[in-house]
Amino acid sequence: MISYIWAEDENGLIGASGNLPWHLPDDMAFFKKTTMGHPIISGARTFRSYNRPLPGRQNIVLSRHGDFPDGVLVISSVEQLCELVDKNPKENYFVTGGANLFGQLLDKVDRLYRTKIHHQFTGDTYMPEIKYAQFNQVTSIDGIVDERNRYPHTFEVFERIQ
């Protein structure tokens, strides 16, 4: 199966100049905890924003170029990616963005892990439109706001209606 995991602001903004528009360690911890032990799939631009394989997870990057660090599986088309996913039906593949890659797998995604940040930021990259009518919300948990995590945020999970 395929899951998406991302954070967006009140306007659906997810990126600014190749990076995240915010600093929210609570969400980074949620990302780590949720994806640990599962394969993660990133677009080349998102991967370049940290440019190293994340530990404890198979790192898959979508790119038409091959220049990535050791330990990264580079896949050059969505068709090849879908073949890999279909061959491993028990595995939960986490697509970690960015917008370009999210936009190409909208018909395939089964589960959505959305962190909604209740604030407006400036940036240049927005989440593509998701048809939420095709999903049921199964979780909504407010994150903790403190000195290190200054923006109110909610961790939400949606499952595709079969």
Ligand X SMILES: NC(=O)c1ccc[n+]([C@@H]2O[C@H](COP(=O)([O-])OP(=O)(O)OC[C@H]3O[C@@H](n4cnc5c(N)ncnc54)[C@H](OP(=O)(O)O)[C@@H]3O)[C@@H](O)[C@H]2O)c1
Give the binding site for ligand X (CB under 6 A).
6-7, 14-15, 18-20, 43-46, 49, 62-65, 76-78, 96-101, 104, 125
Cβ 31 to ligand X shortest distance, Å: 8
State which residue, 19 or 137, has the beta carbon closest to ligand X. Answer: 19
Terminal-residue alpha carbon distance, the chain? 13
Residue nearest to ligand X as judged by C-beta position: 98
State which residue, 56 or 103, has the beta carbon closest to ligand X. Answer: 103
State which residue, 98 or 143, has the beta carbon closest to ligand X. Answer: 98
Over the range 8-38, which residues count as b (16 or more CB within 10 Å of their CB) and which as e?
Answer: bbeeebbbeeeebbbebebbeebbeebbeee
> Do 106 and 53 meet the contact criterion of CB atoms below 8 Å apart?
no
Cβ 162 to ligand X shortest distance, Å: 26
Q: Which helix (H) or strand (E) holds 116?
A: strand 111-117
Cβ 161 to ligand X shortest distance, Å: 24
Cβ 58 to ligand X shortest distance, Å: 17
What is d(CA 82, CA 63) in angstroms, rounded to the nearest whole number? Answer: 14
> Do 49 and 99 meet the contact criterion of CB atoms below 8 Å apart?
no
State which residue, 62 or 90, has the beta carbon closest to ligand X. Answer: 62
